[in-house]
Amino acid sequence: MSRRLRITLGIIAGVVLLALALWGVDATELRNNIARAKVGWLAAAAVLYLAAYFVRSLRWRAILHPIVPVRVSESFHMLMAGYFLNYIIPIRAGEVAKSFFLKRLKGVPIATTLPTVFVDKLFELVSILFVVTMLPILSISMSATLAALIYTVLAIFLLAIGLLFFAFRNPDGASRLLCALFSWMPHRVYSKLSEFISLFVQGMGVARREARTLWMFLGLTGLAVLIDGLYFYFMFRAFSVDVAFTRVLFGYTLLTLSYILPTPPAQIGYNEFVIGLIFAGGIAVGGVARDEVMAVVIVAHAMTGLLIAGVGMWSFGAMGIKVKESFRRVAGVAGDDGTKSGRSERE
């Protein structure tokens, strides 16, 4: 399937999700709720939103340190540029792009640094344990759709943990397993991909070498999740909607975890649908009207979209890398193991 077709289908899916999210919402009430937003709370929420990303950039920088030291500003720019790519195209290209940025800026092969992105994402998924733990504590009654979302993310987390430990214990076996999954591909593509997989599995040792800093990684993850919760709690306060912080923290953590799944470009409709599912019935928050929830998420979506676009473009400029070039290079990264592959690399 071509990239253009994937993007087109993603936009269509997003429009459908947005229609479902807004189904039955009174347009007049929605406009009135949006108009009453308090600018002070929104400004504070915007600061917290970016602060959570900054903390995540510190975590990735610490994971990356054994391979290539980078400055705090560099890790933040690479992370935000990657999130910007993730935001506008529905193929999670931003994760691979961070390794591409390192190749451009530091000359490190992509396959060498890509495992740090995997390990960083794995720590992000650790918060699913918080979500599962909070279910009985908050006495949350879930819909079938919400339960399916939670168990899907949990399954992905457990699968990633299994792959990580398998790579620790038996690197050769892990390489053979991953190669076998792609053995159906054309020989030319498969040969390059198998080399890439071998380097990737070897690079998984970064997590083993840094096991002593596990608690620091977990601490930064917990801090980022807490700031996320405060950001969305402030968004509710901006509309004078009274929801307990623990429930906001649970709901927003679940939303961010769900981004491991494919989402439409710019998350059109996705945020509205999932937030509506969670806060307007999914976790029985206690009397929050659907039009109030939609007002919060629509303004939050617009504000964060502007922040990601603005900071993301600024980050590309700070790194001296063009957005269009990143699209082109990331699309062909599967065949780039960071070594000479018969074609010149124009930097």
Please report, for residues 14, 140, 153, the alpha-carbon distance to residue 34 in angstroms, rounded to integers and kept in the order given.
21, 28, 32
What residue segments make up the domains of the chain, in order of their start?
27-143+214-335
The H or E element containing residue 128 is helix 127-137
CA distance 127 to 120: 12
| Phi, psi (rounded to 5 degrees) for 262 | -60, 140
- Would you give per-residue pLDDT tens digits along the chain (347 residues)? 566 777 788 889 889 999 988 888 888 989 999 999 999 999 999 999 999 999 999 999 998 888 889 999 999 999 999 999 888 775 566 778 898 899 999 998 887 888 888 888 888 888 888 888 887 777 666 677 778 888 888 888 888 788 777 777 777 787 777 777 767 666 665 666 676 666 666 656 555 555 567 788 889 999 999 999 999 999 999 999 888 898 899 889 988 888 887 788 888 898 998 888 888 754 444 457 788 899 999 999 999 999 999 999 999 999 999 888 777 776 554 334 333 333 333 33
What residue type is 222 in one-letter code?
A: G
